[in-house]
Amino acid sequence: MLRTGLKDLAMETRQCDVAIIGAGTAAMNARRAVEKAGGAPLMIESGAYGTMCARVGCMPSKLLIAAADAAHGVATADQFGIDVASGWRIDGARVMQRVRSERDRFVGGVLRQVEAMPEAHLLHGHARFTGPTTLTVDDHTRIEAHAVVIATGSMPVRPPPFDGPSERIMVNDDLFELTDLPTSLAVIGTGVVGLELGQALHRLGVRTTFFARSDRLGPATDPAVRAVIRDTLDDELDLRANASVLTCMPDETGLRLRFAADGAEHDEYFERVLVATGRHPNVADLHLEATGLELDDRGLPAWDARTTRCGDSAIFMAGDVNGHAPLLHEASDEGRIAGANALAYPDVVAHARRVPLAIAFTDPQIALIGRHYNQLDLDEVEIGELSFERQGRAAVMARAKGLLRIYGDRSKCTVVGAEIFGPRAEHLAHLLAWVIQAELTVPEVLKLPVYHPVLEEGLRSALRDLAGKLRVGGQCREEDFASSPGT
Ligand SMILES: Cc1cc2nc3c(=O)[nH]c(=O)nc-3n(C[C@H](O)[C@H](O)[C@H](O)COP(=O)(O)OP(=O)(O)OC[C@H]3O[C@@H](n4cnc5c(N)ncnc54)[C@H](O)[C@@H]3O)c2cc1C
């Protein structure tokens, strides 16, 4: 009791307009929004500056994938008549060195932004709530704020039997610190992170085996798209679906995995394990109970995506921590909304959110745009599709694999969503997201120009297929179709 009292006396008290917990992408954008509106933010970070995306997320993973793409190009060059049999090799140490040095340049850019901040806007330490808008940071500072933005991100889940201390059991954070590529790897989980990193390492010559409890591969929800993903990736990767890893026993040179699959137990040995079984919001150590907010079984309060506000409080949540859409552009948008609303509190404004857009950088890529198949009322939509097996440009590039499925609203004739598994799907995904957000009808989209020969012709084919079905099954105006040269 006495000790607590003395500690409290030694604490500095700081006041601010908006206390922002975290210094990741969401927090940096919240801080900018507060400053732009003339307020005084205080950004509190307990870990390293530089953001998760730049340090251990989007950027190093895409750097590793870029190396894998280069290796795959050489490995498959023979089909174009380019003979590489006389010799080439992957230098794992140089691959990882480039990943890290380029990654450090991205991190450096963020660090320069942090360094340019006024000292009064920054504090290092772990923040915990002591009341609805009061916090302590470690045992050195007490904070009184007008409003608070929680932007604490998420952390990888490490379920048993992968919760042991072995450095051979890695999560994404550890992978990019390797100074050389491992000879073999077990990837646990076939979500976006597991598939992206695992396929890249496989293409970089690492003997890679994927273990998943279900037969799900990546984020697609459309059964037709999922079937093509499974067929395609099964051809390339060593996938153990419906497999449950029972034990993971490390020794000096690797780890022995015992797993149950096909009604039997099996043993396999790997140099390392990459655990990619999902992430959970960083709320456990925030003392959210002190805010008076009602918390659900994940420890999260009720949250409004348009205001980023938690219930009726002066607390706002932005980025991965709210569990809404754990993606970089969503974290940026939510940070801006949260910062502006926190400063303006109680005059909170609801903002329109962008059309959902998510891309997995597998090869072929997987993209989900607008409404997903499992969010559709199938009585209200028609579905157009295009197989990349028959698409000209995809064949030219020897990339003729995949399926595009596009969903059109029967009564409005607008595009409402799509799921894609196909070459360079990231670009078609953006076109579709813009079309959906602009609420264009299918005939309107078909009036737009398309060059030849390009992958976008595949998108136009899918739209034509959709237009044909809407003409028969929808309530669209016939004259709209008649005036479109594309239909
Ligand atoms: C391998 C991988 C690849 C990815 N690739 C992509 C991609 O290609 N495209 C894409 O859009 N998204 C991608 N993402 C997701 C993207 O990285 C995240 O959505 C985004 O970085 C989340 O930003 P954030 O601000 O919410 O959290 P973060 O950047 O994680 O920031 C949270 C910060 O809060 C700090 N913190 C936590 N608790 C406290 C506390 N109590 N006190 C003080 N500080 C605290 C943490 O130390 C951390 O710095 C990827 C993620 C991973 C893991």
Tens digits of residue pLDDT in 60-103: 999 999 999 999 999 999 999 999 999 999 999 999 999 999 99
Which strands, in side-by-side order, build the sheet including 184-188? 169-170, 272-275, 184-188, 207-211, 238-240
Q: How confident is the model at residue 9 (pLDDT cuts 50, 70, 90)?
A: low
* Residues making up the chain, counted from first to last: 487
Comparing 363 with 486, which gets the higher pLDDT?
363
- What's the average model confidence in pLDDT over 303-324? 97
- The residues pairing with 259 across neighbouring beta strands, listed in sequence order, are 245, 266
| C-alpha distances in Å from residue 2, one per residue of 10, 125, 136, 238 | 13, 24, 18, 61
Q: Whose CA is nearest to atom 30 of ligand 1?
A: 153
Pocket of ligand 1 (CB under 6 A): 21-27, 44-47, 51-53, 57-58, 61, 126-127, 151-153, 172, 193, 282, 285-286, 319-321, 326-329, 331
- What's the average model confidence in pLDDT over 322-339? 97
Comparing 266 with 487, which gets the higher pLDDT?
266
* pLDDT of amino acid 487: 59
Q: Burial level of 112, CB count in 10 A (0-12/13-18/19+)?
A: exposed
Q: How confident is the model at residue 379 (pLDDT cuts 50, 70, 90)?
A: very high
CA 380 to chain CA mean position, Å: 29
Q: How confident is the model at residue 1 (pLDDT cuts 50, 70, 90)?
A: very low
pLDDT surpasses 80 at 477: no
The pick from 129, 152, 322 for probing ligand 1's pocket by mutation, whose C-beta has the most ligand atoms within 8 angstroms, reads 152
- What's the average model confidence in pLDDT over 9-36? 96
Q: Whose CA is nearest to atom 39 of ligand 1?
A: 152
pLDDT surpasses 70 at 378: yes
CA 117 to chain CA mean position, Å: 28
- What's the average model confidence in pLDDT over 303-320? 98
- What's the average model confidence in pLDDT over 409-426? 97
Mean confidence (pLDDT) of the chain = 96
Cβ partners under 8 Å of residue 314, min gap 6: 132, 133, 146, 147, 148, 342, 345, 346
What is the whole-number distance in angstroms between the Cα of residue 334 and the centre of ligand 1? 13
- Are 442 and 463 in contact by the 8 Å Cβ rule? The answer is yes
Question: What is the residue whose two structure tokens read 């993903």?
Answer: 229
Cβ partners under 8 Å of residue 238, min gap 6: 202, 208, 209, 210
Q: What is the pLDDT of residues 231-278, one digit of tens each?
A: 999 999 999 999 999 999 999 999 999 999 999 999 999 999 999 999
* pLDDT of amino acid 480: 73
Q: Whose CA is nearest to atom 17 of ligand 1?
A: 53
* pLDDT of amino acid 472: 87
Q: Whose CA is nearest to atom 15 of ligand 1?
A: 327
